Amino acid sequence: MDRLDHIRAVALELFAGKGYEATTMADIGAVVGMRAPSLYKHVTSKQDLLAEIMTVTMRELLAAGRAAVATTADPVERLRRATEAHVRYHARHRREAFVGNREIRSLVEPHRGRVLELRAEYETCFRDLVRAGIAAGVFSVTSERLASYAILDLGMGLAAWYREDGEHSEDAVVWQYSEFALRIVGSGG
């Protein structure tokens, strides 16, 4: 693995485990195997490390969501696939998702604004999916906002507790949580 990739991976692990502010460059260096100042031969700043993790994560998440709904027009199927993508991403990249959700506050402008925009866009996608199902008469919820937030929060919660080697396989969690999402909108099996 490239030195830089290694640093990024370690930073992600530590940001997820102790938080951005609580992680020092010396911490990162200690795991990578060098002193804090040497890190600057590979990265431009600690803030940059965070900014890149977060923007890449949000972009990937958004892309995964768009791709998931691209091949069908059925509202139920669209919401199911979007939720599957959402949950799968949060299970497979739980550290990225975790940091992405929790450390927005630590991001400095203009990165924060950009990440927030991406997130708003992502949320809008889900709200639209719910709205479409309501309009089609296949979902029964009184507020598309509450329902879409509830579904999105499933993923964020997942990123907090999911472990690759835990009790549940990725597929099991993806399936069960997608089922939950459809039940939330009143369209469960």
Partner DNA sequence: CCATGTAGCTAATCATCGTTAGCCGAGCTG
Partner DNA sequence: CAGCTCGGCTAACGATGATTAGCTACATGG
Residue numbers of the site for DNA (CB under 7 A)? Answer: 3, 23-26, 29, 34-38, 40-42, 45-47
CB of 105 to a copy of itself, least distance (A): 5
CA distance 11 to 49: 7
CA distance 34 to 37: 8
- Among DNA, a copy of itself, none, the one that 145 touches (CB under a kind-dependent 5 to 8 A) is a copy of itself
CB of 11 to DNA, least distance (A): 11
Q: Mask: binding to a copy of itself, 133-172, rule CB under 8 A, as x and -? A: --------xxx-xxx-xx-xxx-xxx-xx-----xx---x
Give 18 or 35: the residue with its C-beta nearer to a copy of itself. 18
DSSP letter assigned to residue 107: P
Instruction: Name the maximum alpha-carbon separation found in the chain.
Output: 60
Asked if residue 105 binds a copy of itself (CB under 8 A), the reply is: yes
CA distance 62 to 85: 10
| Residues 6+ away with beta carbon under 8 Å from 132 | 75, 78
